Amino acid sequence: MNDDIRVAELRCSIDGGESLGIISTDEAMSKANELGMDLVLIAPTAKPPVAKIMDYGKYRYQEEKKLKEQRKNQVKIVVKEIKLSVKIAENDIAYKVKHAREFLEKGFHVKFRVFLRGREMAHPEAGKEVLLRVWPMVEDLGIMEKPPKFEGRYFNMYVTPQK
């Protein structure tokens, strides 16, 4: 930008769209100073390099405004976790599934986890069976994003709400 540009010649244009063609850097700098704007290098690797005479402060302000607008329109994904165990009773499953259904109705993602303790690690398929018992209870509201998978001491299943 401005005095940091170290090339002899560059292709220059003014912010409004008017092109000045290929001119020397000094000439472009004097034109920018005359207009009260900045000389900004846009494509330094081009032959010859491309520069633009613009109000750089205004340009940065508009870019920040665009970024804020994009962040405002961004959707935040909320992941709720439901913890289960291998020896869970049927009524406890129903209670936890009721909460999972509420989360899915609100549009949250739900992660079901079955923690395997001690000797339960010898039979990890028991954790998978618990998750496969839970799935039919929520399948009308959700999509199984990740099927039951063994990770460390947990069996995980990830369910997202239907569109």
Instruction: Give yes or no for a contact between 126 and 72, defined as CB atoms under 8 angstroms apart.
Output: no
Return the domain boundaries, the chain.
2-59, 79-161
Instruction: Give yes or no for a contact between 12 and 23, defined as CB atoms under 8 angstroms apart.
Output: yes
Position 81 scores a pLDDT of 92
Cα angle vertex 20, ends 19, 25, to 5°?
130
Task: List the one residue out of 141, 56, 150, 68 whose CA is nearest residue 101.
Answer: 141
Position 109 scores a pLDDT of 93
Return phi, psi of residue 143, to 5°. -120, 130
Position 112 scores a pLDDT of 92
Give me the architecture of the 79-161 domain, per CATH. Answer: 2-Layer Sandwich (3.30)
Q: Rg for the chain (alpha carbons), in Å? A: 30
The CATH number given to 2-59 is 3.10.20.80
- The pLDDT profile of the chain, 163 residues, written as one tens digit per residue, is 777 777 888 888 888 777 888 888 888 888 888 888 888 888 888 888 888 888 888 888 988 999 998 888 877 888 999 999 988 888 999 999 999 999 999 889 999 999 888 888 888 888 888 888 888 888 888 888 888 888 888 889 999 998 7
